[in-house]
Structure 1
């Protein structure tokens, strides 16, 4: 593989900043975007400096491309035949903003776009939780009655910062090969072989945490439990080991902890090849817990690569993003991605979880605050927070679905996950509809319902579709964090009011439209062990349910 690293940005030189060798150089691209309220506004996104993606007319040879680029002072970095896009280097010193215009003048070019820069999607850690509440929140114990992931081989490809393969909860889950997809590589030879096998390395802790959520060794008497007990793991590292601090921040001296579209496309292309050629991986699921700025239309290079994965029946789960209340991060906003937003321990939408129409159209939400998972040096953390840790929950459940039904298609995986999700935020529900909001997508992932739908082809006979239920039941606050109350379709309506009473009829708590209960009364005090009555009223009617609470 030929490799030529990028020159340091002029702006960094001007500021007197030193950027570690090999780091992706980034710059800010400002561009006009349409607003939902009408008119246009300006957005700023981080992009790889000094290069752009271009799309030639059909039939243009590599030699003709090189000649056309050379005439404009540009050069070909890498061809992507599978998606019909090429990555080109701009003339020295040219900004991407100017380059997008300049490259349109290259003979034979019909489309041009930028090379998005990505970071691991994370927010500051909160290490105060000490239990895996997220497994109860999505009803994993009931789902495991259908499948633990051992019926047939499924491999989860973690496209991230690398995974610590010596971790006791992960070491036996790995396939023999890991890959490095170099962000910023120069494939002038046109081989496309930019993801290379490597002795597993890590750029920061992010990938190890993500891998543990999806597939840590389980039922082994130690450590934590992953969503899929039987899934194998395959690491695709897309961050340089010299670019990031241990917690995935920038190294001193500049913006360094980035990957880009090029590395993501190469990873997806290699995954498809491995899936076809290696019988040991069998079926595959991909997790991408990264995020960058910008839109992602159907013809975007990354979406085209995601489309190739879809065509190979490989579902790709992507973190929705953190900190932007109105925009799903790229590549989670790509039409062929399955974006996953975050909920907290009380099954409310996390304040940082990104919102947008792409989540409503293609995704759902799962726990993503203070997730307990694997960490570096063979340790564990209770502070994995961000949609980065919601996405691998979805990937893990998809792996269980495939293990149960090896012939299941990408479309059915996505459909079953969304159709079985639990509506949250009852105040916004209308009768006979499931919540499909920009905040919660199809709703909160329910692994049991997803597995039932996969195994039986129907949700009929599930009480939650006919009456109010609460899970887990029995509910242990110290272990589960919160109990979730599901509202059947026939009761969904406005003016929701949920109240909790003792069996003797004594008032305990008014939840209003909140569909989770933390085991406390209205005064904020822990209630005693016992059986409690849940009274749910909406404009569509009233129902009762019982919940056993154990201290």
Structure 2
């Protein structure tokens, strides 16, 4: 008699281990953290003239000014560098004049050089062609202060995103497809599996429409956020169309991946959406015909980067098109090392600035920040345009009907900063399609405008309390992005390298002997081949390190941190430096030295014997025992069980949310191979090892859609 059960990612074979008959019996044993056994791996749930290029001038024309006292009437014509020039126009009375001749660009430059050497000439220069910065005619562009802040109009002179179609995936709350300022066609997929969260009547489907994040029946003033539409508008709203606002890229293809709904979204849905966005397979979902080259993730939550997130990001980064993932740092005014996906490696983590170029009061900070971008501050109007200093983009107003619904609004947040960078990366990719993450990071960091300590701290601002720590400039990464410089640099790479850490954060326990290993990836750009010498600074007393190999001639080295004595608990920022050739690169490593967690206790654990009735569970014939004893292990006994087959599952609800969620303890009575065993009362010695949940999943009966976990809760609520 063998049955198969799926628990998380494991198929657990069920074997009969007791066949006692007769009247009511019991199942007893111990539940806890057994050092001699291995718990099963269970997973649940503004405008100026442009600077011309050196060769951007009118051939044969020279602007010339003689030194004071020389009459222009005496210089109607002249010879310079083999070119005959005639005075055509007096631009300044008694001063600057335009001379014209027949010459190509090289001859013109030679004439200018010859004139500049004359002692009677104050200056001479070619007649450069100047153009207005490319300024879109969108109705509300003048209120998009955040674009001049990053020199985006100058960048548009180089690349506006229309020369090559770059696909940008927006993993967010979906899209308001009827908004007239949204590029078409509307592409994407809805990855919200729970209809209640989706708020659209079903689960996953091919319609990424944002139905709002307010549950049905809410009062009219409870407006939905339509966050994904606002984010998408910053990246690629229809631009130069006499309507609304402009996007960073004027020609990007948007793919909308809906993963957030009422109350947010689960890791499972978000990660599935990320996989699909970059062209990885997702069970039951047709392939994405437009794998993203850039992905924007303006979302996240507390906690260091989890293995599931890092694994999925690693797979995404390995896709043939080499997608570049841009993520928001978070809005808690805390260290970004404590947030996911901001703390993950293999992504560009973006903090937020306001109109003065200071860190916005809410923006997360720390060594994990790569660059900053405008996120705004809707509590003030410092620029005096009559509106709150937020980021202006597309939105929907639930209180209106028809065309009046489709509006534009100011939002603030690192969620608004990240799409600025995603859009700039799309422009860079339009200029250089094979641009990699390492190259993009090297360019963005190398061209950014650094923030000093005061700017990064964000003062003066009445929104920052006196107790807020004084930050270092490096806590805002390389600084505020410069779109013009970044897009320009993307067109011609020079040999360089950049350092990336995996994982991007580290934690140690004060216990002597505690250690952690970090892979130092040396991304070599444009044929850079020199050895890289590595060094680490910022270590607290009591922690040592090794780097091997060092110097590194290859593409990686291993950094090992080791606790040698008892370091002070707290947060530290280590700096890893690499020097090779004439270049030096640094990367920050957040280190948390924390007290060891208290030993787990089994007190409050529910041990449940679930009665197996065919392809279902009979809650009425199931039993439960709540462990009252503290400690790593304790006895339990479930009395008065009717004869039959049972599976024994133990669960401790650590966070008290009455749901089986990551961080809870879960276990089952299994054999040494992890096979869940059937038990018939009376039986003793049925010991149940507990393990910490680390993901999402389910436990179902074979041939049935019935999940055991709700049945377990049903028994507990009787």
Q: Which residue of 1 aligns with 2:476?
A: 440
**TM-score, normalised relative to structure 2:** 0.41
Matches within 5 A, 1:67-466: 67-68=11-12, 109=41, 115=45, 131-170=143-182, 172-175=183-186, 177-182=187-192, 196-198=205-207, 200-203=209-212, 204-240=225-261, 243=262, 257-273=263-279, 281=290, 284-296=293-305, 300-312=307-319, 313-328=322-337, 329-359=339-369, 363-369=370-376, 370-377=390-397, 379-425=406-452, 437-457=473-493
More helix by share: 1
Residues 401-439 of structure 1 show CA distances to partners (whole Å, capped at 9, x for unaligned) of: 11111122222122211221111227699xxxxx99453
Task: Answer whether contact 1:153 1:281 (CA < 8 A) is retained.
Answer: no
Task: Answer whether contact 2:357 2:455 (CA < 8 A) is retained.
Answer: no
Task: Answer whether contact 1:216 1:226 (CA < 8 A) is retained.
Answer: yes
Q: Give the Cα separation in 2 of the matches to 1:227 and 1:326.
A: 28
Residues 315-359 of structure 1 show CA distances to partners (whole Å, capped at 9, x for unaligned) of: 111110002323442111111221110000010010100012211
Q: Structure with the greater relative contact order (CA < 8 A, sep ≥ 6): 1 or 2?
A: 2
Task: Answer whether contact 2:208 2:258 (CA < 8 A) is retained.
Answer: no
Gaps of at least 5 residues in structure 1 are 1-60, 72-98, 116-128, 186-193, 244-256, 430-434, 460-551
- SS of residue in 1 equivalent to 2:294: strand
CA shift, 1:273, in A, is 2.0
Q: Give the Cα separation in 1 of the matches to 2:267 and 2:8.
A: 24
Cα gap change, 1:145/1:336 in structure 2, threshold over 3 Å: closer, same or farther? Answer: same
Q: Give the Cα separation in 2 of the matches to 1:272 and 1:355.
A: 28
CA shift, 1:296, in A, is 1.1
Q: Which residue of 1 aligns with 2:668?
A: none
Q: Give the Cα separation in 1 of the matches to 2:395 and 2:185.
A: 16
CA shift, 1:381, in A, is 3.5
Q: Give the Cα separation in 1 of the matches to 2:13 and 2:333.
A: 38
Q: Give the Cα separation in 2 of the matches to 1:226 and 1:339.
A: 20
Q: Which residue of 2 aligns with 1:121?
A: none
Task: Answer whether contact 1:342 1:387 (CA < 8 A) is retained.
Answer: yes
CA shift, 1:68, in A, is 3.0
Gaps of at least 5 residues in structure 2 are 16-30, 46-140, 196-202, 213-224, 377-389, 398-404, 457-470, 496-718
CA shift, 1:280, in A, is 6.2
Q: Give the Cα separation in 1 of the matches to 2:246 and 2:344.
A: 31
- SS of residue in 1 equivalent to 2:146: helix
Task: Answer whether contact 1:183 1:259 (CA < 8 A) is retained.
Answer: no
Q: Give the Cα separation in 2 of the matches to 1:284 and 1:174.
A: 18
Q: Give the Cα separation in 2 of the matches to 1:68 and 1:437.
A: 53
CA shift, 1:182, in A, is 2.0
Q: Give the Cα separation in 2 of the matches to 1:387 and 1:101.
A: 41
Q: Which residue of 2 aligns with 1:251?
A: none
Cα RMSD (Å): 3.8
Cα gap change, 1:355/1:64 in structure 2, threshold over 3 Å: closer, same or farther? Answer: closer
Task: Answer whether contact 2:299 2:328 (CA < 8 A) is retained.
Answer: yes
Residues 156-201 of structure 1 show CA distances to partners (whole Å, capped at 9, x for unaligned) of: 111111111111110x3344x321112569xxxxxxxx95422623
More strand by share: 2
Q: Give the Cα separation in 1 of the matches to 2:268 and 2:242.
A: 41
Q: Give the Cα separation in 1 of the matches to 2:393 and 2:164.
A: 24
- SS of residue in 1 equivalent to 2:332: coil
Q: Give the Cα separation in 2 of the matches to 1:341 and 1:419.
A: 17
Cα gap change, 1:173/1:415 in structure 2, threshold over 3 Å: closer, same or farther? Answer: farther
Q: Which residue of 2 aligns with 1:476?
A: none
- SS of residue in 2 equivalent to 1:336: coil
CA shift, 1:142, in A, is 0.8
Q: Give the Cα separation in 1 of the matches to 2:162 and 2:171.
A: 23
Cα gap change, 1:293/1:183 in structure 2, threshold over 3 Å: closer, same or farther? Answer: farther
- SS of residue in 2 equivalent to 1:391: helix
CA shift, 1:281, in A, is 3.0
Q: Give the Cα separation in 2 of the matches to 1:379 and 1:309.
A: 34
Task: Answer whether contact 1:353 1:387 (CA < 8 A) is retained.
Answer: yes
Residues 467-512 of structure 1 show CA distances to partners (whole Å, capped at 9, x for unaligned) of: xxxxxxxxxxxxxxxxxxxxxxxxxxxxxxxxxxxxxxxxxxxxxx
Radius of gyration: which is bigger? 2
Residues 93-130 of structure 1 show CA distances to partners (whole Å, capped at 9, x for unaligned) of: xxxxxx9979x977663xx7775xxxxxxxxxxxxx97
Q: Give the Cα separation in 1 of the matches to 2:242 and 2:277.
A: 33
Q: Which residue of 2 aligns with 1:481?
A: none
Task: Answer whether contact 1:162 1:201 (CA < 8 A) is retained.
Answer: yes
